[in-house]
Amino acid sequence: MVLTVLTYPDPLLKRESEEIQSVTLEVTALITDLKDTMMDSGHSTGIAAPQVGEAVRLVVADASRGRKPCENHGLLVMINPEIISHEGSSLSREGCMSVPEFTGNVNRAEKIVVQYYDEEFNMKVIEAQGFEAILLQHEIDHLDGVLFIDRVISRRTDLFRRKR
CATH number of the CATH domain containing 106:
3.90.45.10
Gap between the Cα atoms of 35 and 74, Å rounded: 13
4 found inside a domain: no
User: pTM above the 0.85 mark?
Assistant: yes
Instruction: Give the per-residue pLDDT at 163.
Output: 80
Q: Answer whether 38's CB lies under 8 Å from 49's CB.
A: no
Backbone angles phi, psi at 11, to 5 degrees: -65, -20
Q: Answer whether 44's CB lies under 8 Å from 65's CB.
A: yes
151 found inside a domain: yes
For 56-83, what is the mean pLDDT? 94
Gap between the Cα atoms of 21 and 38, Å rounded: 24
2 found inside a domain: no
Q: Which amino acid is at 17?
A: S
83 found inside a domain: yes
Looking only at the bridges linking them, the beta strands covering 75-87 and 90-96 are: unpaired
Looking only at the bridges linking them, the beta strands covering 90-96 and 46-48 are: unpaired
5 found inside a domain: no
Condensed to tens digits (0 to 9), the pLDDT of residues 12-48 reads 999 999 999 999 999 999 999 999 999 999 889 999 9
6 found inside a domain: no
Q: Answer whether 12's CB lies under 8 Å from 55's CB.
A: yes
- 68 pLDDT tier (thresholds 50, 70, 90): confident
Looking only at the bridges linking them, the beta strands covering 99-108 and 75-87 are: unpaired
Instruction: Give the per-residue pLDDT at 129.
Output: 97
Give the chain's domain count. Answer: 1
Q: Is 24 exposed, middle or buried, given 0-12, 13-18 or 19+ CB atoms closer than 10 A? A: exposed
Catalytic residue ranges: 139
Domain that holds residue 32: 11-161
